[in-house]
Amino acid sequence: MTDLSKLTIASARDALRKGDVSSAELTNAYLGAIDGAGALNAFVHHTPDIAKAQAAAADIRIKAGDAPDMCGIPLGIKDLFCTKGVPSQAASGILDGFKPEYESTVTTQLFDAGAVMLGKLNMDEFAMGSSNETSVYGNAVSPWKIDDRQLTPGGSSGGSAAAVAADLCLGATGTDTGGSIRQPAAFTGITGIKPTYGRVSRWGVVAFASSLDQAGPMTKDVRDAAIMLAAMCGHDPKDSTSMDMPVPDFEAALTGDIKGKVIGIPKEYRMDGMSAAIEKLWDDGTSMLKDAGAVIREISLPHTKYALPAYYVIAPAEASSNLARYDGVRFGHRAKLAAGDGITEMYEKTRAEGFGPEVQRRVMIGTYVLSAGFYDAYYNRARKVRTLIKRDFDQVFASGVDAILTPATPSAAFGLGAMKNADPIQMYLNDVFTVTVNLAGLPGIAVPAGLDADGLPLGLQLIGRPWEEGDLLNVAYTLEQAAGFVAKPQKWW
Amino acid sequence: MSIDTETARRVAKLARIKVEDDALPALAQEFSAILGFIEQLNEVDVDGIAPMTSVTPQRLKRRADVVMDGNQQVAVMKNAPDAREGFFAVPKVVE
């Protein structure tokens, strides 16, 4: 029996190629692990038949010597990705019963490379949330536990994070609009990278805020992130914002040599009231990179403070537009109508029943900031501030900085339900360190770097130059080697 | 800015989301809190700054103006809550 807790994509790839294990065996082991992990509520649609068929096909390719890196690797797919014939609901009631007639570009590429889909993963509804508590499927639960409480795996890619951390799959797809890959990765002690905007096709990924959304891998370590990211990247004619440029060999970039690289430490990220544990983690990470030969430089990103408010104009504005398509006509849920109800009542009842409270709130905020008389005051102003936020980064990179080190989150994972009575802005603050990266379109990666006093994982974030994911991954790899994070959650589920 | 109940009602209407009357005051309060947070943006000097239109300096790709796909009526209708004879059915729109 394979010890799933020790396996990575890289080691599974090598074992598969050597014939030490078959994809069918691996897949069956993971399907068994998933069946025993219902308490985590990470997998919300199970696809064992697809998984077994894909594994059998992968084994034939591997035997024939035609095996790309991801061939035979069992994965979980976030529910935001459209998968042909398989429920793809974005964790929303409004897409109840929706089975796409098409396959997203990302999953097409992964399947073409031989990857195996074990099922669809829990998430916040339409990726709007930071704790996986807005899902129509109920909360995903972190495999980490320190007392009686159930902890959040983070969000929106909470199911992906929980599944990878609990060894229910070798890797998972995530998406990141304001931190939805990096925050859950940090909360669960795994690695997650959001690539440069345009690196990965958005086609077939249910849209939240199109100018910010990017998909990326969530994996057990940096090497796996490099391998899986390469399989997800590439130009796609079906996404006009996807960049037509070659995809480098990210894994080959992992040399562990960062001598002379300039690492920026942004002073604006040292927030008032920041916890001592986070501050120490950040200082330790800085020392590790310095010891590895990097040059540490304090930098300034003066508009950091305005990133979150700008995001909470731009993202809801785009969401209100994107989510206008859920009208009960072409797909998904339609409300039962009363006698005499017309089409307007159909729209209004359908959307009131289908969307959860957080999605409704953001759609309405977006509607408001785009409405006549407020468009300039809110939406245009936010887009101007976004220009300034990106300029901050451009100037820092132009001055010779290669990557920027920050905390990934302001705290460790909190208890499910702990934020129930907090106002929405308290929840939004989870993304304070990650959201700037989406606004500037940059690549960002969360790497587990330590445990807090309670024994919960904490992550550091590295931000890279646009299109230089290879370099960024190499810095992350160096940090990972130095941090030596090996903690795993104790199985309780 | 403080959002009153009437504004909340208007926004819900514009967004085509049915909100019951008794839920409007709480909604208005939430909007006010979020907009209050957003109003920090007024502190920023944005004079002469262009609003961002594209985060990557890239001209949108164009493709040849040719038919790429088609004859997908069955697939297109497949997920419709109410499809009849190749059409999406909705309540009567015109009296």
What are the tens digits of pLDDT across the range A405-435? 999 999 999 999 999 888 888 888 889 999 9
Task: Examine residue B68 and state whether it is found in any structural domain, yes or no.
Answer: no
Apex A362 CA angle, B45 and B21, nearest 5: 120
Helix (H) or strand (E) holding B87: strand B87-88
* CA dist., res. A156 & res. B27, Å (int): 23
- B63 Cβ neighbours under 8 A, 6+ residues apart: A237
Region class of A93: left (phi > 0), else alpha (psi between -120 and 50), else beta: alpha
Task: Examine residue A207 and state whether it is found in any structural domain, yes or no.
Answer: yes
Are the beta carbons of B80 and A331 separated by less than 8 Å?
A: yes
Task: Examine residue B65 and state whether it is found in any structural domain, yes or no.
Answer: no
Task: Examine residue A427 and state whether it is found in any structural domain, yes or no.
Answer: no
Task: Examine residue A66 and state whether it is found in any structural domain, yes or no.
Answer: yes
* CA dist., res. A318 & res. A177, Å (int): 11
Beta-carbon count within 10 A of A482 CB: 18
Q: Which of A372, A365, A371, A369 is nearest to A382 (CA)?
A: A369
- pLDDT of A218 reads 98
* CA dist., res. A367 & res. A350, Å (int): 17
> Which tokens go with A187?
């909360």
Give A377's DSSP letter.
I
Are the beta carbons of A334 and B31 separated by less than 8 Å?
A: no
- pLDDT at residue A439 is higher than 80: yes
- A91 Cβ neighbours under 8 A, 6+ residues apart: A44, A79, A80, A122, A123, A124, A125, A126, A134, A135, A136, A137
- pLDDT of A440 reads 98
Looking at the complex, does the CB of residue A332 fall below 8 Å from at least one CB of chain B?
yes
CA quadruple A406, A144, A82, A417: dihedral, nearest 10? -90
Q: Which residues of A touch B76 (CB under 8 A)?
A: 101, 330
Smallest Cα distance from A343 to chain B, Å: 5
Digit-coded pLDDT (tens) for A84-120: 999 999 999 999 999 999 999 999 999 999 999 999 9
Of B14, B46, B78, the CB nearest to A367: B14
Length reported for chain B: 95
- pLDDT at residue A309 is higher than 90: yes
Task: Examine residue B75 and state whether it is found in any structural domain, yes or no.
Answer: no
Average pLDDT of span A133-153: 98
* CA dist., res. A64 & res. A102, Å (int): 29
Are the beta carbons of A243 and B56 separated by less than 8 Å?
A: yes
Q: Model ipTM?
A: 0.96
- pLDDT of A119 reads 98
Enumerate the active-site residues of A: 78, 156, 180
Task: Examine residue B80 and state whether it is found in any structural domain, yes or no.
Answer: no
Q: Which residues of B touch A243 (CB under 8 A)?
A: 56, 58
Q: What are the DSSP E strand ranges found in A285-402?
A: 295-299
Looking at the complex, does the CB of residue A364 fall below 8 Å from at least one CB of chain B?
yes
Are the beta carbons of B56 and A329 separated by less than 8 Å?
A: no
Give the structural domain span for A81: 4-251
- pLDDT of A3 reads 85
Digit-coded pLDDT (tens) for A156-200: 999 999 999 999 999 999 999 999 999 999 999 999 999 999 999
Task: Examine residue B95 and state whether it is found in any structural domain, yes or no.
Answer: no
> Which tokens go with A42?
């990470």
Task: Examine residue B82 and state whether it is found in any structural domain, yes or no.
Answer: no
Burial class from Cβ neighbours inside 10 Å (0-12, 13-18, 19+) for residue B65 reads: exposed
Task: Examine residue B21 and state whether it is found in any structural domain, yes or no.
Answer: yes
* CA dist., res. A187 & res. A16, Å (int): 31
Band (A5; pLDDT cuts 50, 70, 90): confident
Q: Which residues of B touch A84 (CB under 8 A)?
A: none
- Return the number of CB contacts < 8 Å for A and B: 171
Q: Find the largest Cα–Cα distance for chain B.
A: 57
A197, A348, A364, best to mutate vs chain B, most B CBs in 10 Å: A364
Average pLDDT of span A125-141: 97
Band (B60; pLDDT cuts 50, 70, 90): confident
Looking at the complex, does the CB of residue A252 fall below 8 Å from at least one CB of chain B?
no
Looking at the complex, does the CB of residue A355 fall below 8 Å from at least one CB of chain B?
yes
* Helix%, strand%, coil% for chain A, nearest 5: 40, 15, 45
Higher pLDDT, A1 or B48: B48
Residue of B nearest to A355 (CA): B17
* CA dist., res. A5 & res. A491, Å (int): 11
Q: First and final CA of chain A: distance in angstroms?
A: 20
Average pLDDT of span A128-139: 97
Q: What is the CATH number of the domain that holds A9?
A: 3.90.1300.10
Task: Examine residue B19 and state whether it is found in any structural domain, yes or no.
Answer: yes
Place of tokens 């390719």: A61
A84, A201, A365, A374, best to mutate vs chain B, most B CBs in 10 Å: A365
- pLDDT at residue A1 is higher than 70: no
Give the structural domain span for B34: 5-43
Smallest Cα distance from B90 to chain A, Å: 7
Of A102, A351, A425, the CB nearest to B16: A351
Task: Examine residue A24 and state whether it is found in any structural domain, yes or no.
Answer: yes
Looking at the complex, does the CB of residue A241 fall below 8 Å from at least one CB of chain B?
yes
> Which tokens go with A74?
């069992």
Apex A80 CA angle, A76 and A82, nearest 5: 85
Are the beta carbons of A343 and B56 separated by less than 8 Å?
A: no
Q: CB–CB of A190/A486 below 8 Å?
A: no
> Which tokens go with B72?
């997908």
Q: First and final CA of chain B: distance in angstroms?
A: 41
Task: Examine residue A183 and state whether it is found in any structural domain, yes or no.
Answer: yes
Task: Examine residue A172 and state whether it is found in any structural domain, yes or no.
Answer: yes
**Counts for chain B of helices (H) and strands (E), in that order:** 3, 2
Q: DSSP 3-state assignment of A449?
A: strand
Backbone angles phi and psi of A264, in degrees to 5: -90, 140
- pLDDT of A423 reads 82
Digit-coded pLDDT (tens) for A192-204: 999 999 999 999 9
What is the count of structural domains for chain A? Answer: 1
- pLDDT of A59 reads 98
pTM: 0.97
Is the peptide bond prior to A88 cis by the omega test (within 30 degrees of 0)? no
